[in-house]
């Protein structure tokens, strides 16, 4: 069925709600007014000035809303909204819904059920019970705990289609994002989105502009190929931004989603029902992803970590594009094999860095607060290692920060004091913020710098090449990332490593 987007607005004043309504109409087929957050509710004015169809919702605190008045006054306000011109009104199935259905045309009533704890194994009996009320639209929102909970939503929508019910179902939480994106394709009569730049009304809500422009929900169909990023948590991953931009630039019918899974088996269960063509793998599943692959690249085998899965006839092929992503900006600027390199950290990111550098013959010294881990990594790649307190005395041409120190929200922190920056180049893998405190200090000390944005973009370009071949629309991906960085509020949280 055609995608119907309902943009939910959450404002504290009538004036703010009117302005939000105007903004939301740019994306919305329908706007939900969450009146339980409006402190000076002027129903007449609010509904007289609506620029598009509206859904009026006044949810009590017991139902996850913000209305603190009596149940009687709440129902009276909902009825008043219906008389004043609200196109639809929402009432909870667990509340006094009969009073609304007796006074409002049933086609204008959305009967809603919320489960903030879980997504039950079966929703069919609940839907059957709700359908007997005669409400025009049934809405069910559950809490996803696993990626595979989206499959329960899909099954419920298929069942509703056979009964010809007007049903809206989705799963809340970041694990439930696929149900919001695919909902209309699966048969949901609408999907809820948040107003761009504003606070959402439910966990996991996608902003309306992202719904339309990033995920292209109005174009999803049976031929759409699915890609995604596998990890936990994924709320701030920028991979969906740049990969969906790349697919659009290539004119491919492909979609890239956050696939937040409880574990690898959870991902495999989802994949069995909705096959994924390619996967970016991030924390904490890079090592576990090795077990999924029938074949591994040299980089993935040597690092013991897979950050990219490519679907082939024989099964998954595992790659590690972190190595290529890290090396790309260095190849443009430096003769790495001639440089002495100090690497801060001994975790997964450091492993990819050391592998890339040693493959070019660069002498590497690994410095970590956990000296045992530094030694273990150094022994694997025939590198040197040193204690953290020895770093200030080391001579290096290139310093690489492979720790998360300096990442949002601790943007004023740096892994080392400025006076220790005595080499020529400093490369920080953290890319939020783009210019970390370490890089700021490095510039003041006369060092040349490379931002972690370059590695993030580089590894994604390599992934696009593996999945879809050349030419890769790198400039479109870079432009999208730059535009996001400019628009984002200072310190907006994103992952530092994909």
Please choose, from the candidates 172, 159, 85, the residue with its C-alpha nearest in 3D space to the C-alpha of residue 123.
159
List pLDDT tens digits, range 141-158.
Answer: 999 999 999 999 999 999
Contacts with 458 (C-beta within 8 Å, 6 or more apart), sequence order: 321, 324, 325, 326, 327, 328, 329
List pLDDT tens digits, range 160-183.
Answer: 999 999 999 999 999 999 999 999
349 vs 117: which has the higher pLDDT:
117
The percentage of residues in the chain with a pLDDT greater than 70, rounded to a whole number, is: 98
Q: Average pLDDT, stretch 330-340?
A: 90
The yes-or-no answer on residue 286 being catalytic is yes
CATH of domain 5-221: 3.20.20.70
State the helix-helix crossing angle for 474-487 and 452-468, rounded to 10 degrees. Answer: 140
Q: Where are the domains of the chain?
A: 5-221, 227-319, 324-450
- Under CATH, which architecture does the 324-450 domain have? 3-Layer(aba) Sandwich (3.40)
* Average confidence score pLDDT of the chain: 94
Rank 250-264, 335-349, 476-490 by mean pLDDT and report only the highest: 250-264
What is the chain's alpha carbon radius of gyration, rounded to the nearest angstrom? 26
Q: Can you give the pLDDT at residue 492?
A: 47
Position 431 confidence tier, pLDDT thresholds 50, 70, 90: confident
Cα angle 182, 262, 272 (rounded to 5 degrees) comes to 50
For tokens 């939301």, name the residue.
24
Q: Can you give the pLDDT at residue 333?
A: 80
What percent of the residues of the chain are helix, what percent strand, and what percent coil, each to the nearest 5?
A: 40, 20, 40
The percentage of residues in the chain with a pLDDT greater than 90, rounded to a whole number, is: 87
106, pLDDT greater than 70: yes
Q: Average pLDDT, stretch 95-101?
A: 90
**What separation, in Å, do the N-terminal and C-terminal C-alpha atoms of the chain show?**
35
d(CA 371, CA 351): 15
Q: Average pLDDT, stretch 321-343?
A: 93
Handedness of CA 381, 382, 387, 388 (dihedral sign): negative
Q: Which fold has domain 227-319?
A: Rossmann fold (3.40.50)
Position 394 confidence tier, pLDDT thresholds 50, 70, 90: very high
List pLDDT tens digits, range 178-235.
Answer: 999 999 999 999 999 999 988 889 999 999 999 999 999 999 999 999 999 999 989 7
432 vs 129: which has the higher pLDDT:
129
Q: Can you give the pLDDT at residue 108?
A: 97
497, pLDDT greater than 70: no
400 vs 305: which has the higher pLDDT:
400
Position 493 confidence tier, pLDDT thresholds 50, 70, 90: very low
Q: Can you give the pLDDT at residue 491?
A: 44
50, 286, 313, 375: which is the annotated catalytic residue? Answer: 286
Domains 5-221 and 324-450 share a fold: no
495, pLDDT greater than 50: no
44 burial via Cβ count (<10 Å: 0-12, 13-18, 19+): exposed
Position 94 confidence tier, pLDDT thresholds 50, 70, 90: confident
> Phi/psi of residue 269, each to 5°?
-65, -45
Q: Average pLDDT, stretch 394-410?
A: 92
The pTM (predicted TM-score) of the whole model is 0.90
> Is the CB of residue 286 less than 8 Å from the CB of residue 230?
no
List pLDDT tens digits, range 249-277.
Answer: 999 999 999 999 999 999 999 999 999 99
List pLDDT tens digits, range 28-54.
Answer: 999 999 999 999 999 999 999 899 999
313, pLDDT greater than 70: yes
Cα–Cα distance list, 109 to 29, 50, 126 (Å) = 17, 19, 17
d(CA 496, CA 431): 6
Q: Can you give the pLDDT at residue 1?
A: 58
Q: Report which secondary-structure segment, H or E, holds 356.
A: helix 348-359
310, pLDDT greater than 90: yes
Q: Can you give the pLDDT at residue 95?
A: 79
């Amino acid at each position: 069925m055609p995608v119907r987007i309902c943009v939910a607005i959450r404002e504290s004043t009538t004036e703010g709600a009117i302005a939000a309504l105007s903004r939301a109409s740019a994306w919305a087929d329908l706007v939900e007014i969450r009146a339980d957050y409006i402190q000076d509710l002027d129903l007449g004015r609010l509904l007289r000035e609506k620029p598009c169809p509206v859904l009026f919702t006044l949810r009590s605190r017991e139902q996850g809303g913000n209305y603190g008045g009596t149940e009687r006054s709440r129902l009276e306000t909902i009825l008043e909204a219906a008389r004043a011109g609200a196109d639809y009104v929402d009432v909870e199935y667990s509340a006094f819904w009969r009073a609304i259905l007796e006074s409002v045309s049933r086609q204008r009533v959305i009967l809603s059920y919320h489960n903030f704890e879980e997504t039950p194994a079966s929703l069919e009996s609940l839907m059957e019970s709700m359908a007997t009320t005669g409400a025009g639209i049934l809405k069910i929102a559950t809490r996803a705990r696993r990626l595979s909970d989206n499959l329960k939503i899909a099954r419920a929508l298929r069942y509703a289609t056979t009964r010809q019910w007007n049903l809206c179902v989705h799963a809340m939480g970041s694990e439930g994002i696929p149900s919001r994106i695919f909902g209309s394709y699966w048969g949901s009569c609408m999907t809820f989105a948040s107003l761009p730049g504003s606070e959402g009304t439910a966990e996991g809500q996608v902003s309306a502009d992202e719904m339309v422009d990033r995920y292209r929900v109005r174009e999803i169909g049976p031929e759409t190929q699915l890609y995604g990023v596998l990890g936990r948590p994924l709320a701030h991953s920028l991979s969906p931004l740049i990969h969906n931009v790349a697919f659009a630039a290539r004119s491919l019918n492909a979609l890239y989603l956050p696939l937040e899974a409880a574990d690898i088996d959870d991902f495999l269960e989802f994949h069995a029902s909705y096959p994924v063509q390619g996967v970016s793998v991030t924390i904490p599943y890079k090592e576990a992803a090795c077990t999924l692959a029938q074949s591994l690249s040299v980089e993935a085998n040597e690092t013991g970590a897979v950050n990219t899965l490519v679907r082939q006839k024989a099964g998954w092929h595992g790659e590690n594009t972190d190595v290529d992503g890290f090396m790309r900006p260095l190849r443009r600027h430096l003769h790495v094999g001639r440089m002495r390199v100090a690497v801060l950290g001994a975790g997964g990111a450091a492993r990819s860095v050391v592998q890339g550098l040693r493959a070019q013959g660069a002498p590497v010294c690994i410095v970590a607060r956990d000296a045992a881990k530094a030694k273990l990594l150094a022994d694997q790649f025939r590198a040197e290692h040193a204690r953290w307190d020895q770093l200030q005395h080391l001579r290096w041409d290139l310093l690489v920060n492979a720790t998360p120190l300096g990442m949002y929200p601790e943007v004023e922190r740096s892994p080392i004091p400025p006076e220790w920056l005595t080499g020529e180049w400093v490369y920080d893998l953290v890319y939020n913020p783009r210019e970390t405190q370490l890089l700021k200090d490095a510039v003041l000390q006369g060092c040349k710098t490379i931002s972690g944005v370059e590695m993030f973009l580089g590894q994604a370009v390599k992934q696009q090449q593996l999945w879809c071949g050349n030419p890769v629309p790198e400039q479109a991906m870079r432009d999208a990332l730059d535009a996001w960085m400019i628009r984002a509020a200072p310190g907006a949280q994103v992952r530092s490593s994909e």
